[in-house]
Amino acid sequence: MSALFLPLVLSTACTVDERTLVVMAEEEQLDSWIVLEDLAREFEAEHPGVHVRLLPLGGAAGAQDKGKFMLAGDLQLDLLRIDITELAAYVGEGALLDLSPCFEADPTWDPQDYFPSVLAALRAPDGRLYGLPSTFTPYVMYVNRDLLHERGLEFPTPDWTWDDFLRAARSATRAADGNGRPATVGISLTQWLQAVAPWIWQNGARLLDDEGRAAMHEPAFVEALEFLHGLLHEERVASFDASFQNQLSQGLFQAGRAAFYGPVGYWETYRFRHIEDFAWDVVPLPRGERSATAIAMTVYVVPRTSAEPELAYRFLRRMAGERYQRTLARIGNGVPGLIAAARSADFLKPDVAPASEHVFLDVIPEARFLPPLSNWRAIETLCQAELEGILLVEDFDVAAACERMRAKTQRFLDREARRRSLPRMAPWAVPGTLALGLGVLVAIGLFRRGRRPVAWRAREERQAYVLLLPWGLGFLLFLVGPALVSLVLACSEWTPLRPFADKRWVALENVTRLFSDATFATSLKATAVYALVAVPLGLALALALALLLRRATFGVGAVRTLAYLPAIVSPVIIGALWRVLLRADDGLVNAGLEAVGLTGPAWLRDPDWVVPAFVLMSLWSVGAQMLVFLGALQAVDPALEEAARIDGAGTWRRFRHVLLPALTPVVLFNLLTGSINAFQIFAQPYVMTGGGPGDASRFLILYLYQTGFRHLDVGYASAIAWVVFALLALLCLVLLRWSRRWVWYAAETPS
Amino acid sequence: MVAALGLVRRGDAFVRRATHYVLLGMTAVVFGFPLVFLLLTALRPEGQGLRGGLLELPTEPAFENWARALEQMGDFPLLLWNTTVITVLSIAGQLFTCSLAGYAFARLRFRGRDTLFLCVLATMLLPDQVTAIPKFLLFRQLGLVDTFYPLVLPTVLGGAPFFIFLFRQYFLSLPEELSEAARIDGCTPFQAWWRIFLPLARPMLATVAIFTFLATWNDFWAPLIYILSPEKRTLTLALAGFNRTYNTAVEHMMAASSIVLFPCVLIYFLAQKVFLRGIRVAASKH
């Protein structure tokens, strides 16, 4: 029925112009989008017959992953913006086009137009050039001028040192109330690897040694992290938030409660320009043994599969050209890679804070990129867990954590090196598996055919199969098929950066790897603990609410509505909302606890409390389960309860012996659906914590997802997926078996 | 607590009712509160959203946040239209496929029924992420990426296992005589489904419709992967764009969130009664 009018409404197949250039480089909601559209129209006017298609990146959450899907699907994509930390992975997998011939043939090309160190990061060791910078930013320190002034402190000079910094941070820290919570802190620290790297480099340490091996165990490295640990837990002059995307650390500075904030990049100026209560500025990072800082950057590259490399190059020059770079600078995206744009008033913005925008340019000579190497984005996730542990936990063995960081990174590097030498998978692996799967299904069908039924039964049977056709087709096409393919993937090494045909065979290695993967163990444990706590609590709360709301007294209707309302809110919105509600210092949850005389934990910042925080959130969305209980309660015959009452049964006994037995089928129902949902929790941690602090909230599906799209290891991700599936199936079987002992069905048994 | 459960003996009626209302009030506050907070944040001037005094009413409500959020989301009517088309088609697809399958599993006798139904249940256990990449490659093969097909087709072909399950439970609860009567009147199973069972299943249809509405309306992941062109984007995609790497303005995010949330709340309020009835039936048996 609905299948009939589908083609009419969905006739959206794209019409292809003579030549199309597909560009996915910016986010649609930035003010720069209009300028980009302008550029595209201009380009079309100059190149008749060419159509520029601008595809928006999907916002922070999806930006890096959408391009990978397009590359994996071999869709036309001619210009793409990626993060510099992923460049090496793209290059390593041969996913990018070497643009050097284009540059060499172009008389207007002058490498001197761009900051040399920035351009160098885009070059392979053999001199090939893979793209041009969008914007970049060195990490600097943001300073609350007024707060320093108030405490009688000098504004830092550009060559200030760790000692100067420590002194300033000490005098800026003031405890507010009796409970020792600071009103102002010296520094609101940032924590991701790129932000921690400057401290490490300044102390003369390094991430990799000269042979390219992980060097996180070296004394100078450990010392740098001990310094940071000390800032938080010995000096107590710092505050640190492990929350995703750093939002809370920003907030502290923005509220005027931190003298320093950093190390962090240019992007914060956009938000901070709304600060009216105090004057702020930026300074270079304090120097340690030497001065150093890190650079974050996004770059424009041309995928190897580009259909129009020539046009792509020309449009790339425009996107990295003066007009567009000045636009990006004006809206606060970062420092333009083009020197002329960076020195323009559009970047320096003389009349808008910060006054010292030039600091971002001044520190470029001492700024470094993470070492050129495969996939720093993956290594960042690996190190993140340890970094957060070091910064969050007071009695933490920093040296041991550094050693773990080294081991994890080294294991990752070894695997990366090995994956290039793996044998290719035979091209018939996927079709073969599909055929085999289908064959098995047919065989089962034939084998279990059973006795031929009587005539009218045979007709009913035929018609039943027809009615099941829509379901059956989808089942085969969208479930069995893809599941079989993912089974093949589970035995292979593949990244979305390579064509699907280019899979490497690893047999069962992905499965055996699971046993030695500490992160997987942590992830499994976190998920199990979450499910074990959230499911029974959810059931109890849902039941209590249903009992409370079962009789229609005044106001019950409204409260029922309210209690269910959270269940209809999108997880993305729930995540954004609860991240604010669960703030340690001034979140509403802790404010509520304080009102009844309790001191709330740091929730999302505390490895021990982050899972309970997710449990709390899940309890808020318990509405659907409540409704199911409510439905079942209303189906209980009131006469039964009345009879029990007349027999003298008390409240508890009536609940225990009349209501509860009638509820057991729905208890089982809620138990099963609740367990399935709990095991598959993904959207909330994805939006709220990204898996941290440490690995504390890296639930299974999140880990699976990050493995596939961040570590670019789809094979391993598929293996994890199948393990999750097997575990869930086992759990459900056990629950069903167990339920036979306590589920009580009313007189009629289900047919 | 016990008193509020409405289970105590007569006599202390006042205490009982008082506790009942106190608990009701507490429930309302606890559950309604975060959403009130969302609205309050959406009303704060840019840059003020995360500052102290979370519960204070904004002195000058920044209604311009909504205007700005709408503006930033792009062509709002188009986004709304796209989302609506996808949602309506998904609902139609789910209702058709799931009620058919649920009916067949509940009321028809055929060989392999239990095995097939077990397959339906087993698919509930398979995380979506397992099939995401192969499914994408499939739609790519079919040339359907950047159309609405990948978002709608799986509802028409296949349907959600959970809804098939709900329909089966519902049809099981209807009296056996209905099928008999239909058969005697010469109805084919399809006719019996269309003329007799579907009209009786109205509460279940409403429930599944609302569930599908919420799931499709709020879906972020599928549109993110499959929709490329700006003119085919959905509301949640536009919303996710607010959560940027840099430059996130929480107030606009909340304002945009409330805009996306509004239709859900509205539909829920309007359809609440039917919806609750459907859930009750679904829950009554296993």
Number of domains in chain B: 2
Q: Which residues of B touch A255 (CB under 8 A)?
A: 50-52
pLDDT tier for residue A29 given thresholds of 50, 70 and 90: low
Q: What domain range includes position B10? A: 3-67
Residue showing tokens 């649920």: B102
Domain-located, residue A655: yes
A702 exposure class (CB count in 10 Å sphere: 0-12, 13-18, 19+): buried
For residue range B222-251, list pLDDT tens digits in order: 887 788 777 888 888 887 766 654 445 667
Cross-chain residue pair A28–B276, CB shorter than 8 Å: no
Amino acid symbol at A229: H
Same domain, B174 and B261: yes
In this predicted complex, what is the ipTM? 0.83
pLDDT tier for residue A44 given thresholds of 50, 70 and 90: very high
Cross-chain residue pair A483–B126, CB shorter than 8 Å: yes
Q: Pairing state of beta strands A367-368 and A293-301? A: parallel
Angstrom distances, CA of residue A370 to CA of A294, A430, A505, B91: 7, 38, 31, 49
Cross-chain residue pair A467–B101, CB shorter than 8 Å: yes
Cα–Cα distance measured from residue A120 to residue B68, given in angstroms and rounded to the nearest whole number? 40
Q: Check pLDDT > 50 for residue A8.
A: no
Cα–Cα distance measured from residue A223 to residue A398, given in angstroms and rounded to the nearest whole number? 9
Domain CATH for A564: 1.10.3720.10
Cα A585 to chain center, whole Å?
24
Domain-located, residue A29: yes
Cross-chain residue pair B134–A486, CB shorter than 8 Å: yes
A598's tokens: 């309790």
Domain-located, residue A750: no
Please report the pLDDT score of residue A599 as a whole number: 79
Same domain, A582 and A495: no
A241 vs A417, more confident: A417
Same domain, B133 and B48: no
Cross-chain residue pair A669–B112, CB shorter than 8 Å: no
Highest mean pLDDT (candidates A179-188, A412-421, B75-84, B181-190)? B75-84
Q: Check pLDDT > 50 for residue A109.
A: yes
Q: Which residue of B147, B237, B268 is in closest CB contact with A10?
A: B147
Selection from A276, A272, A223 nearest residue A249 by Cα: A272
Q: Which residue of A13, A75, A668 is in closest CB contact with B286?
A: A668
Same domain, B50 and B103: no
Cross-chain residue pair A475–B232, CB shorter than 8 Å: no
Same domain, B139 and B278: yes
Cross-chain residue pair B245–A629, CB shorter than 8 Å: no
Please report the pLDDT score of residue B149 as a whole number: 92
Domain-located, residue A163: yes
| CB within 8 Å of B141: residues ≥ 6 apart | none
For residue B92, the SS3 value is helix
Cross-chain residue pair A247–B243, CB shorter than 8 Å: no
Asked whether A189 and A228 are in contact (CB, 8 A), the reply is yes
Domain-located, residue A568: yes
Domain-located, residue A717: yes
Same domain, A225 and A202: yes
Q: What is the arithmetic mean of pLDDT over A636-652?
A: 80
For residue range B245-266, list pLDDT tens digits in order: 444 566 777 888 888 888 888 8
Question: Final residue of a domain: which of B67, B83, B103?
Answer: B67
Mutate to test the interface with B, among A272, A276, A377, A479 (most CBs of B within 10 A): A479
Q: What is the arithmetic mean of pLDDT over B182-193?
A: 82
Q: Check pLDDT > 90 for residue A687.
A: no
Q: Pairing state of beta strands A174-175 and A182-189? A: antiparallel
Q: Check pLDDT > 90 for residue A680.
A: no
A195 exposure class (CB count in 10 Å sphere: 0-12, 13-18, 19+): buried
Please report the pLDDT score of residue A542 as a whole number: 92
Same domain, B94 and B112: yes
Cα–Cα distance measured from residue A437 to residue A442, given in angstroms and rounded to the nearest whole number? 9
Cα A353 to chain center, whole Å?
31
Question: Final residue of a domain: which of B26, B50, B67?
Answer: B67
Angstrom distances, CA of residue A202 to CA of A289, A379, B95, B136: 6, 21, 63, 46
A125 exposure class (CB count in 10 Å sphere: 0-12, 13-18, 19+): exposed
Cross-chain residue pair A631–B269, CB shorter than 8 Å: no
Please report the pLDDT score of residue A167 as a whole number: 92
Asked whether A284 and A363 are in contact (CB, 8 A), the reply is yes
Please report the pLDDT score of residue A5 as a whole number: 41
Same domain, B182 and B93: yes
Same domain, B210 and B263: yes
Please report the pLDDT score of residue A241 as a whole number: 63
Helix (H) or strand (E) holding A81: strand A79-83
Please report the pLDDT score of residue B282 as a whole number: 59
Amino acid symbol at B258: S
Q: Which residues of B touch A27 (CB under 8 A)?
A: 241, 244
Cross-chain residue pair A729–B125, CB shorter than 8 Å: yes
Cross-chain residue pair A333–B247, CB shorter than 8 Å: yes
Same domain, A293 and A303: no
d(CA A245, nearest CA chain B) in Å: 7
Q: Check pLDDT > 50 for residue A743.
A: yes
Among chain A residues, CA nearest to B246 = A267
Same domain, B142 and B208: yes
Q: Which residue of B21, B115, B246 is in closest CB contact with A333?
A: B246
Please report the pLDDT score of residue A10 as a whole number: 44
Q: What is the arithmetic mean of pLDDT over A304-326?
A: 91
Q: Which residues of B touch A718 (CB under 8 A)?
A: 130
In the stretch 194-213 of chain B, residues with CB closer than 8 A to chain A read none
Q: Check pLDDT > 50 for residue B54.
A: yes
Cα angle value A622/A628/A631 (rounded, 5°): 135
CB-based contact, A431 to chain B, within 8 Å: no
Cross-chain residue pair A565–B37, CB shorter than 8 Å: no
Question: Final residue of a domain: which of B14, B35, B67?
Answer: B67
Same domain, A496 and A539: no
Following CA atoms A381, A404, A293, A134 in sequence, which dihedral angle do they give, to the nearest 10 degrees? Answer: -20
Q: How confident is the prediction for chain A on average, in pLDDT?
A: 84
Same domain, B144 and B271: yes
Number of domains in chain A: 4
Following CA atoms B131, B133, B136, B137 in sequence, which dihedral angle do they give, to the nearest 10 degrees? Answer: -110
Angstrom distances, CA of residue A211 to CA of A90, A373, B65: 22, 12, 54
Asked whether A224 and A312 are in contact (CB, 8 A), the reply is no
Asked whether B47 and A254 are in contact (CB, 8 A), the reply is yes
Please report the pLDDT score of residue A6 as a whole number: 42
Q: Which residues of A touch B50 (CB under 8 A)?
A: 247, 251, 254-255, 580
Same domain, A291 and A311: no
Same domain, A487 and A545: no
Buried b (16+ CB within 10 A) or exposed e, A357-379: bebbbebbebbebbebbbbbbbb
Task: Choose the weakest-confidence range: A242-251, A610-619, A666-675.
Answer: A242-251
Q: What is the arithmetic mean of pLDDT over A640-658?
A: 81
Cα–Cα distance measured from residue A119 to residue A127, given in angstroms and rounded to the nearest whole number? 11
Question: Final residue of a domain: which of A342, A368, A397?
Answer: A342
Same domain, A444 and A333: no
Q: Which residues of A touch B280 (CB under 8 A)?
A: 630-632, 634-635
In the stretch 57-96 of chain B, residues with CB closer than 8 A to chain A read 72-74, 85, 89, 92-93, 96
Q: Which residues of A touch B103 (CB under 8 A)?
A: 467
Cross-chain residue pair A569–B261, CB shorter than 8 Å: yes
Same domain, B62 and B77: no
| CB within 8 Å of A438: residues ≥ 6 apart | A476
Q: Check pLDDT > 50 for residue A236.
A: yes
Query: Phi-psi category of A11—alpha, beta or left, where left has phi over 0 and alpha has psi -120 to 50?
Result: beta
Same domain, B123 and B160: yes
For residue range B109-145, list pLDDT tens digits in order: 888 888 888 888 888 878 777 788 788 888 888 888 8
pLDDT tier for residue A551 given thresholds of 50, 70 and 90: confident
Same domain, A274 and A312: no
A585 vs A616, more confident: A616
Same domain, A149 and A272: yes
Query: Phi-psi category of B110—alpha, beta or left, where left has phi over 0 and alpha has psi -120 to 50?
Result: beta
Same domain, A56 and A148: no
A84's tokens: 């510099």
Q: What is the arithmetic mean of pLDDT over A292-305?
A: 92
In the stretch 497-516 of chain A, residues with CB closer than 8 A to chain B read 500
Q: Which residues of B touch A620 (CB under 8 A)?
A: 30-31, 34
Cross-chain residue pair B127–A721, CB shorter than 8 Å: yes
A603's tokens: 């929730």
Cα angle value B43/B48/B49 (rounded, 5°): 60
Domain-located, residue A746: no
Domain-located, residue A246: yes
Q: Which residues of A touch B93 (CB under 8 A)?
A: 2
In the stretch 132-191 of chain B, residues with CB closer than 8 A to chain A read 133-138, 140, 143, 145-149, 152-154, 156-159, 162, 164, 172, 176, 188-190
Domain CATH for A187: 3.40.190.10
Same domain, A476 and A542: no
Cross-chain residue pair A580–B37, CB shorter than 8 Å: yes
Q: What domain range includes position A249? A: 140-297+351-419
Same domain, A628 and A704: yes
For residue A286, the SS3 value is coil
CB atoms within 10 A of CB A438: 14
Domain CATH for B98: 1.10.3720.10
Q: Check pLDDT > 80 for residue A371.
A: yes
Q: Check pLDDT > 80 for residue A406.
A: yes
Same domain, B59 and B194: no
Asked whether B152 and B90 are in contact (CB, 8 A), the reply is yes
